[in-house]
Structure 1
Amino acid sequence: MISHAMKELVQNSERVLIMGHKSPDMDAVGASIGILKIAQANQKEGNIVLDPDDIDTGVQRMIEEIEKDDELWSNFITPEDAMELVTNDTLLVVVDTHKPSLVMEEKLLTKTEHVVVIDHHRRAEEFISDPTLVYMEPYASSTAELVTELLEYQPKKLKLSMLEATALLSGIIVDTKAFTLRTGSRTFDAASYLRSKGADTVLVQKFMKEDIDVYVQRSRLIEKADIYREGIAISAGEHGEEYGPVIIAQAADTLLTMTGIVCSFVISERKDGRIGISARSLGDINVQVIMERMNGGGHLTNAATQLEDTTIEDARALLQDIIDEYFEGGDEE
């Protein structure tokens, strides 16, 4: 039903603009490419909004591979170009987020009345106003999984290329930590479909390679971890040491693989002056609830927040108080 509704919206629009969140990850980029294919399958021009100055190292290799494909890369435009193209007959599709403050170009939301939201995060208080269609499935592994399912019910006129299928599969693999977290039977169905369309798992591994200095930085954060409550690891960077959000998230992911750890939090100063916290859980502890109490959000097992006008020490103290309230107040659900 969602796929059919999406098809009608695309066909009734002048063009389709697609954007994910700021500093897009592989899930946001892969899902955007999937929506682009839906537009093309319905004979509509589509463009993906991407800020070339806001690309994290985690997705850089994927973007470099896309740049080699002239046909695919020609569909990527800057937020400035998107503002010139958008009209009230444009269909704007937002993927992998539903918060106006997090989208690639917030001004686009006010330029058209036709907005679709496709996301796998649990709905937060902040939400895009008056969307035409919302497809949110918090139990899905990734937005790429949801978009892949939509693709399967679209007209068969256009075929997924190897790179396009690989981009979607990359989003699923990254968000599930190689099919270990938030993975349901539909996740494997979507991955199987993409593999049948030529998705290259070796290329996915190439996308996920990392630099040695990034590995060392992450290890430095992991080294500072200690156990706060049983099974809960908290790591805090030093004052003056700035880490990007990807490294903070990767450190939290790595801590979760350690024996006895069921939940991890990594706190660090960010380059924008804020304090970033990345939270991960195996599922027994709802880190989304904890991060929401710190004005953040995310998913049951994967959440984060950014705090302004505070220090690492104060952020850690606040986090520990909220963790205590979570357990003592019976907020485990």
Structure 2
Amino acid sequence: MTSFFRQRSIRYPLAALSLLGVLAAVFLFFFQFWIGLLFTVLFVVGLGFAWTLEEKTYLDAEKHIETLSYRMKKVGEEALLELPIGIILTNEKNIIEWANPYAVKMFDSETLVGEELPRLSEQFHTILKGDSHDAHALTIGEQTYNVHYKAEEKLIYFFNITKQKEVEELYHADRSVLGILLIDNYDELAQTMDDQTRSHLNSIVTSCINRWGIENGIFVKRIASDRFLAVLNEETLAQLEKNKFSILDDIRDTTGEHRTSLTLSIGVGTGSASLIELGELAQSSLDLVLGRGGDQVAIKRSDGKLKFYGGKTNPVEKRTRVRARVISHALRDLIQGSDQVFVMGHKMPDMDAIGAAIGVRKMARMNHIEGFVIVNFNELDASVTRLMDEIEQDTDLFDHFIDSETALSMITERSLVVVVDTHKPSMVIDERIVDKAEKVVVIDHHRRGEEFINQTMLVYMEPYASSTAELVTELIEYQPKHEELTMLESTALLAGIVVDTKSFTLRTGARTFEAASYLRTKGADTVLVQRLLKEDIATYIERAKLIEGVELTEEGIAIATGENEKAYGSVLIAQTADILLTMQGVIASFVIAPRMDGKIGISARSLGEVNVQRVMEELGGGGHLTNAACQLNVESVKVAKAMLKSVLNDLQNEEE
């Protein structure tokens, strides 16, 4: 440090000035002695003062630097010990060797030396295994810390972010949320009422919704006769979720007391700072709720995540002939604008999927367009196989049944693909066909789920219908009459209705009987239907074995399981669930068994008290309130049963 300061540049000008002064003094002595003497005295005094001042400045600076260095070292020690940052030094075995007082105070301990990090908090297992550049959140008591782990130095830093977290939580809790409330069947009921009754009903519904808004701090504005706009924040939404949107039950119960049957559907958009995006999310959620049958709440976040609440009632039939005619005409235009029509159902097709596919193929024929039904001939259950045996007798019809590979080679840009009895891309016979097609139509009677076929040109989803075969039958009625349904085609459609309604006992509306009546006039053979749906003795025995090992809970939930080594048909599993539901004391039934495709299948049935649709959706499936199913890629029936019980317990805890 000393040599550095002695090399300061001020010394060089002083040395040069001294040399010049000596030369000047010598010159003045030769010129005039007394002037030279006076100059010499003054110069020596001035030069001595300058050198003394430079030396003093240097010594003062050196002393200041030494003092500053000491102070900085002391400040560093003070900072290490007193700054509100926790610091912990560990060894290779993650045992604490040193911790500053702040870190000791954080863990409310006298000393941390000698403690193992994982004993202080289980979260240290994750922190120590993580990347050194990652920050981890750690909660200690009521405080939250950002933890930075330096693996090379074995140092851990703790930064208190409790206040920051509180501000973030306040921000998120105060973010805007938009909701659209729709009275499901208002128009249908209002049409049959006089002005006074309609006004009274409006008053009841409006007061109920306004009261709900005031109680929860929600701004509610009626924007149409059957529609309300709700503005709230995230904190209020969380409270509504906690209460499971009690407004659904309030509307249903209140209007029920006045001999009306109104239900409410709510679409909620959240998770975005853009009001435009929130509005789009809310409308998208409402569309999804209506596709699932109404009387529910769908909450859609900007990241695409969805939550559903409600859905406790069976959908009330509210389709109109007008909608069926409009859809039929739109489908006719699409068919006529195509060079070929390909119809495809779901994997392991049942009678409803095959019957509906045959019906759509017939619609193509009615419009003079070639139509083909895509099937996997290796994935047919017994009843469908018997139908295929009958179809083989009709050469013209059988020649239009093709496999997926053939369909892929035939599809062009003008081809139309119609998906029936499912709306999930993962459930179709071959997803490549949907991806390749330019024009896709979906016809389904299941409640809409989160997974959906994108870029469809026409969607006809009616969860109020008993079956897809019923929907297709109605569409056929409005197609050109160039060609009538044959006996076999009518029988296939009727068989699809019979299977999905359990011989007209479940989910059967007036329109179901109208469709069946139409098919009967076209030559549908009810005796052939019964013959197609007959089962052999071996199947009956297999079903009895499944029922034999049933487990019945105190709540009335029956769970039957198959053997891991066997493969059961999907129809057999479904029939077993149906039979269990007829047993005394059973309110819901679940049958778990390996399927032909290697997956573990679960068929679920309910009398309405248990929403089996929600149960199956949690496991990746779907369906209706009283009839649903799923397929699991797990190694055993035991694992599938444990997953089912876990979901049932979670949903039961939610309701409590």
TM over 0.5: yes
Q: Which moved more, 1:157-166 or 1:299-308?
A: 299-308
Q: What is the root-mean-square deviation of aligned Cα atoms in Å?
A: 1.5
Cα deviation digits, residues 250-282 of structure 1 (max 9, x gap): 111111122222210011233444322111112
Conservation of the 8 A alpha-carbon contact between 2:440 and 2:458? yes
Q: Which moved more, 1:239-248 or 1:288-297?
A: 239-248
Distance 1:242 1:308 in 2: 14
The equivalent of 1:186 in structure 2 is: 511
Cα deviation digits, residues 161-205 of structure 1 (max 9, x gap): 111100000000000000011111111110111111111100000
Cα deviation digits, residues 10-69 of structure 1 (max 9, x gap): 111111111111111110111011101111111111111112122112311111101111
The equivalent of 2:619 in structure 1 is: 294
Shift in CA distance, 107/12, structure 1 to aligned 2, threshold 3 Å: same
Q: Which moved more, 1:305-314 or 1:117-126?
A: 305-314
Distance 2:578 2:428 in 1: 24
Q: Which moved more, 1:277-286 or 1:198-207?
A: 277-286
Question: Which is higher, the Rg of structure 1 or of structure 2?
Answer: 2
The equivalent of 1:5 in structure 2 is: 330
Distance 2:634 2:521 in 1: 50
AA at the equivalent of 2:393: K
The equivalent of 1:230 in structure 2 is: 555
TM superposition shift of 1:310: 4.1
Question: Of 578, 583, 586, which aligns to 1:253?
Answer: 578
Distance 2:457 2:535 in 1: 39
Question: Of 525, 537, 548, which aligns to 1:212?
Answer: 537
Distance 1:62 1:163 in 2: 9
Question: Of 169, 176, 186, which aligns to 2:501?
Answer: 176
AA at the equivalent of 2:546: L
Distance 2:499 2:333 in 1: 31
Distance 2:645 2:358 in 1: 40
The equivalent of 1:283 in structure 2 is: 608
The equivalent of 2:376 in structure 1 is: 51
Conservation of the 8 A alpha-carbon contact between 2:634 and 2:640? no
TM superposition shift of 1:74: 1.7
The equivalent of 1:65 in structure 2 is: 390
The equivalent of 2:640 in structure 1 is: 315
Residue 423 of structure 2 is aligned to residue 98 of structure 1: yes
After TM superposition, list the pairs within 5 Å mapping 1:32-43 onto structure 2.
Answer: 32-43=357-368
| DSSP-derived class of the 2:553 partner | strand
Residue 437 of structure 2 is aligned to residue 126 of structure 1: no
AA at the equivalent of 1:316: K
The equivalent of 1:82 in structure 2 is: 407
Residue 470 of structure 2 is aligned to residue 145 of structure 1: yes
Structure 1 unmatched ranges of 5 or more: none
Question: Of 526, 541, 545, which aligns to 1:201?
Answer: 526
Shift in CA distance, 53/41, structure 1 to aligned 2, threshold 3 Å: same
Distance 1:140 1:280 in 2: 17
| DSSP-derived class of the 1:261 partner | coil
Distance 2:438 2:629 in 1: 30
**Identity of matched residues, %:** 58
Shift in CA distance, 229/2, structure 1 to aligned 2, threshold 3 Å: farther
Conservation of the 8 A alpha-carbon contact between 1:18 and 1:93? yes
Conservation of the 8 A alpha-carbon contact between 1:296 and 1:306? yes
Distance 2:596 2:365 in 1: 38
Conservation of the 8 A alpha-carbon contact between 2:348 and 2:570? no
Question: Of 599, 605, 614, which aligns to 1:274?
Answer: 599
Residue 491 of structure 2 is aligned to residue 166 of structure 1: yes
TM superposition shift of 1:73: 1.1
AA at the equivalent of 1:23: M
Conservation of the 8 A alpha-carbon contact between 1:181 and 1:282? no
Shift in CA distance, 50/241, structure 1 to aligned 2, threshold 3 Å: closer
Distance 1:273 1:85 in 2: 30
Distance 1:300 1:109 in 2: 28
Structure 2 unmatched ranges of 5 or more: 1-325
Shift in CA distance, 270/183, structure 1 to aligned 2, threshold 3 Å: same
Conservation of the 8 A alpha-carbon contact between 2:613 and 2:625? yes
TM superposition shift of 1:321: 2.5
Shift in CA distance, 272/197, structure 1 to aligned 2, threshold 3 Å: closer
TM superposition shift of 1:160: 0.6
Distance 1:115 1:64 in 2: 29
Distance 2:347 2:596 in 1: 15
TM superposition shift of 1:242: 3.4
Conservation of the 8 A alpha-carbon contact between 2:344 and 2:375? yes
TM superposition shift of 1:71: 1.7
Q: Which moved more, 1:306-315 or 1:174-183?
A: 306-315
Q: Which moved more, 1:15-24 or 1:321-330?
A: 321-330
TM superposition shift of 1:112: 1.9
Distance 1:316 1:132 in 2: 39
AA at the equivalent of 1:135: Y
Distance 1:77 1:128 in 2: 22
Shift in CA distance, 329/53, structure 1 to aligned 2, threshold 3 Å: same
The equivalent of 2:61 in structure 1 is: none
Question: Of 565, 585, 603, which aligns to 1:240?
Answer: 565
Distance 1:80 1:310 in 2: 29
Question: Of 28, 31, 45, which aligns to 2:356?
Answer: 31
Distance 2:564 2:366 in 1: 51
Conservation of the 8 A alpha-carbon contact between 1:34 and 1:148? yes
Normalized per residue, which structure has more helix? 2
Conservation of the 8 A alpha-carbon contact between 1:264 and 1:281? yes
Q: Which moved more, 1:153-162 or 1:256-265?
A: 256-265
Conservation of the 8 A alpha-carbon contact between 2:592 and 2:600? yes
Conservation of the 8 A alpha-carbon contact between 1:282 and 1:301? yes
